[in-house]
A = this chain, B = another copy of it.
């Protein structure tokens, strides 16, 4: 191990310690904020308990899945254990488990802090927007710091101990397995509860969104936490690890040394920039929380660019070209965020057009939302295409293999500010919960209004962070394609076969893979949406049962208590039951294509998967956000306001959009990453056994 690399390992651990220490400080700060309202404490405890129940059961199932996967890894990966040295197999199995465990820990603590913050943010809102914002944001920032800290810790440790970057793919696969459960499972949970609560409460009974009479209301609040805090955190943990892992695999195939140091340097500086951005986030004089969230993101971006430019100046061997590639990645991330905002913000024309179309009936809400959702995919697709092209062209002159390494550094650059992104994202469910708690705790009109304002900022920023995370996944997976080729060539070289130099579209084997790969994200999303659908039907039936069998519940009698836990139970069981077939389908399709067409077909399969996955993920996330905000826009009084025909149509649009934007859309990222990693991990098997390859 050269001394420069040792230095960076050391710096990496040091940064992780700083991030964790800062997270502990924020946790203690949030904990010390006062909470006095007994009702809020009770409900907040119910939410916490519900979230823990889901996480516990999710982790239990995941543990079984992970155990099976770990045994399979031990036996077969990177190559069958009976064919030689068992050490890589053991390392990879251990790395895989470490990936799931670290991500699970981050998720668990994130949920703990989020459920600690929601009630405090609600009570803080009595003092005004500034303290409430700070409680919500800092509660979310704990999750942000933990996710990035744990991912950097894991990657550094695995590489330092094994010295073999391909073991990182095992670690990354562990993170992906967890993300699949957390994101898709959490997504089904949250939308089951949300849709059922809306249908029975708002639509059937005409009661408020967070009315405590509704048996699904706690499940709905739990859902926000498990879907957006734990799910989104696991998703970005996964993307971040995958970006680093693929960059490191490519760096090692370029001979290691300074290239590996560079990946660590950029990751470290990204985390430090996020720490500074988080520490300085405040609601300014104008009291606008959206601006506070956005400006702290821009501050983080600027700090990262300056710090990495400094590092490039100071260290020998660091190249401006690599810096340029990572800067392009980061800037495209910001552009995608802005474009998403244009399509989903209710101060911009698109949301208003959809609201206007709603006045003609629900079919027009759907048709216009679908159309703008499709169009909204264009800027992000062009952005990713251009950033890949520019990063490649920038780094190609550095020598063979550097071009694709440049793309991987663009992904690392885009994900550098992920700590900040997750903080913003986790802020959303905390203040969303706070809004509900303010209502349930009878904190008064003004406090609810303050909480509403915080919540609305959370919604706006959520759309942006989703666009960002999809873009990041897109770039990451391109570099994973490079990592796959590098792994496959390793196996081909060992088998004494001809190496892969690329994947030609005109080859029917590649084309075969492309077409099937393109169909998978569509089928995967459909399975998740149908899962929400089925599960919501079960929960609606349960709510009806409670309304009919618990005397006085509908009327709101003091002594009539809904059985919240029954709804949480349905959401939990159903979510886990519905997500497994979708996850297995993607993995089995990968195996079928690989064993039929070999590595060439898999190259095509990954490409088709990325392309249609990006398109559908952007379409679903954006159209969902668009419908959500159109509904809110109508509720604010436009097109006849609440109770108008336009409102009824907009509510239907929002219900369609819910599983689009919170279940299927963001889960596609994870599906793509899982499939890419499975392919890389199994590359040697696909080389050895295939029909037509």
Interface residues of A (CB under 8 A from B): 195, 199, 203, 357, 360-364, 366-368, 370-375, 377-378, 381-382, 384-386, 388-389, 391-393, 403-404, 407, 478, 481-482, 485, 501-516, 518-519, 522-523, 525-527, 529-530, 532-533, 537, 540, 597, 603-604, 607-608, 611-612, 614-615, 619, 652, 655-656, 659, 692
Contact = CB atoms under 8 A, between A and B. Distances in A.
Nearest to A525: B374
A634 to B, nearest CB: 16
A178 to B, nearest CB: 26
A503 B510 CA distance: 11
B478 A370 contact: no
Contacts of A384: 515
Nearest to A371: B526
Contact of A504 (B366, B502, B512, B515): B502
Contact of A518 (B366, B508, B611): B611
A692 B396 CA distance: 13
Contact of A368 (B389, B533, B615): B533
11 contacts: A374-B523, A378-B522, A385-B514, A388-B512, A478-B511, A481-B505, A482-B506, A518-B612, A608-B611, A612-B615, A652-B652
A603 B505 contact: yes
Contact of A404 (B374, B403, B481, B506): B506
A652 B648 CA distance: 13
A527 B294 CA distance: 32
A479 to B, nearest CB: 11
A433 B374 CA distance: 34
Given A403-B508, A515-B384, A522 B362 contact: no
A74 to B, nearest CB: 31
Contacts of A372: 526
Nearest to A604: B505
B508 A505 contact: no
B389 A509 contact: yes
A533 B656 contact: no
A522 B393 contact: no
Contacts of A199: 360-361
Contact of A388 (B366, B373, B391, B508): B508
B505 A377 contact: no
Contacts of A603: 505
A518 B374 CA distance: 11
A203 B360 CA distance: 12
Given A506-B481, A518-B611, A526-B375, A533 B403 contact: no
A407 B508 contact: yes
A381 B505 contact: no
Contact of A652 (B362, B508, B614): B362
B360 A540 contact: yes
Contact of A523 (B375, B515, B525): B375
B611 A368 contact: no
A330 B506 CA distance: 22
B506 A505 contact: no
Contact of A505 (B374, B505, B530): B505
Contacts of A612: 518, 611-612, 615
Contact of A529 (B370, B391, B485): B370
Nearest to A396: B508
Nearest to A519: B381
A605 to B, nearest CB: 10
